[in-house]
Structure 1
């Protein structure tokens, strides 16, 4: 029975798994965080209170 011959089936199985384990995660991770994160300054903005003339 030719389907029991392991040679071509093993290569067909291993090349897609190597692609999934090596190439695809690196491409996905490059799109998740493409740029370095920048910290927002800790300075608070000065707000002026409203003066309602009642």
Structure 2
């Protein structure tokens, strides 16, 4: 069974990993979310009991 020449495949493997590790992360990290998360206040909101109309 013939063996493949590893020279072009090794270059393709190394080049694809360089693209994945160097080119793609800055492009993904440059996107920002439209609404940044807001901090919640430490105090709990005051809740009221429900008034059920059928009781």
Please report the TM-score for the alignment, with normalisation by the length of structure 1. 0.50
- The structure richer in helix per residue is 1
